[in-house]
Structure formats: C-alpha cells, structure tokens
Amino acid sequence: MCLIAGSGFAQSRVEITASYWPVHTNGIIQASGTPIDLRSDLGVEQNVATFAGKLDLRLGRRQWIRVEGVPFRLTGQQDLSRTITYRGRVFSFADRVASDASLDYLYTGYQFDVVSTPRGRFGLEAGGAYLNATGAIASQVTNLTASKSQKVGLPLAGASFRAVPIHGLVDVEIGGELKGMAVGRYGSFFQTGASVGVGRGHVFVEGGYRLIKADIHDAAGANTVAPTFRGPVISLYFRL
C-alpha cells in the first residue's frame, strides 16, 4: 500500500509500490464434488513468497487511476484422511495427492479524494477485479489427475486513506484501505490492509498487513473457489 510524504500529496503524478508478501492460505475449493480444504486435505504450503505491485496515476488534485495485481501460486502434498471427489474423479483416503493451483488477481479502479490536504487524504474508489483461477490434483499412487479453471470479473467499491503524522527530516506515514463487493449467489470478494511507512523524498520503506478473502462460486454452488490470503507485507514505495 503506497504512502506519501506530507509535502508530496499535491506534487506526485505517479506512485509505484512493489511488495513482498509471505502469504498464509486457507479455504476450500470444489469442482463437481466434495468441498476440499486447502490445508487439511491438500497440505497447501504456508508462508509462500508472493510479490504484489500497484500503480497509481494522478489525473488531477483529487482524482486517481489505480492498477494493482497479485499472482498467487499454491502447491502441496498430503496423505488423504478421507475420500474426496474433484471434477468427478475420486481420490481415496489411502492416497497421497499433489496439488498445484494458481490465482491471478488484477484490479483497475478510479479514486476520488473527498479530503485532500498536504498532511493527508481520504478517498472513495470504484473499479473492477479480474480473477483467473486454476487448480489441479494428482494422485501419486494411481496417477489419476483432475483439473479445473475458472475466470470471473467482479465490481468492487471501497475507501482508502493516507496520513502523515510526522513530517520532518524523516517522514512517518500511515495508510489503510478496504474494498469489496457481494455478488449475490455468485459469492463475494473482500480486501483490506494497513501499513506504516518511513522515508523521505521519493522513496519509502513500509511494513503492514494485508488480507484478501474470496468466495466465488457458480449459481448452483457446485464449483467454488474460496481462499483466504493473509500475512505481513514489506514494501518499497516510489513517488515520481
């Protein structure tokens, strides 16, 4: 999440944030079968190094265009403790399965700053998210495999703030965001985060925490992708 110095709120035109996010994952997937737990059934690895990026373009004193994305990659191996069905394929409790999944998240939105001062801003935003999810499960005993892909676009709305409580030789900044949307029988998407940054001029280092929770399914509920990604975030922020 990008944070900006008190003297730069009205000056910067481009803001770039590059983040390192060691992700912890839990949730379920389902594809024409039983709900499958990502941790207990598939043993999805935790604390996975993930990189996120964000670009903010200022259109005027109060208007912004935001583009951000995260490529999530999940792998795991587990001895099954129960029988599961995925894409019509049955994997028994005596099996050992390997899983490989990806979820690419891309968001583009427009933000208008309701409050904009040299020491802080508060804005409302609206945009759209694109999710591209792919999951595969393979038996290491029978060589049985099954895979499923799902793509979906979602409208999102939310708010964010930036504040500079300390401005001097070194600036200290805080920020937060919240956005999401419920899409009726097709599920919901929720994203939030907060951070504290220290720096001066064009470069800041920040630390924070981020959470993304998705629950995407078809109208019948037979196919579901419902992961939660969370964890601390370390970022570099550049203001141009």
Residue type, 89: R
Q: Cα 9 from chain centroid?
A: 26
What is the mean pLDDT for each group of 10 consecutive residues in the chain (240 residues)? 42 89 96 93 97 94 95 96 93 93 96 92 96 94 92 94 91 95 87 95 94 86 89 94
3-state secondary structure (DSSP) of residue 69: strand
- What is the reported pLDDT for 11? 62
- What is the reported pLDDT for 13? 87
Q: What is the largest CA-CA distance in the chain?
A: 65
Residue 137 neighbours by CB under 8 Å, 6+ apart: 36, 42, 86, 89, 91, 97, 98, 99, 145, 146, 147
C-alpha–C-alpha distance, residues 119 and 173, integer Å: 9
**Residue range 128-139, pLDDT digits in tens:** 999 999 999 999
Radius of gyration of the chain (CA): 20
The mean pLDDT value of the chain amounts to 91
φ and ψ of 24, to 5 deg? -105, 135
**Residue range 86-108, pLDDT digits in tens:** 999 999 988 999 999 999 999 99
C-alpha pair distances (Å), 35 with each of 87, 135, 224? 11, 13, 8
- What is the reported pLDDT for 84? 95
Retrieve residue 203's tokens: 């470069």
Half-sphere exposure of 21 (CA within 13 A, CB side): 26
Neighbours of 205 (CB within 10 A): 13
- What is the reported pLDDT for 4? 36
**What domains lie within the chain, and their CATH numbers?**
6-239 (2.40.128.90)
C-alpha–C-alpha distance, residues 145 and 31, integer Å: 13
Retrieve residue 76's tokens: 């795991």
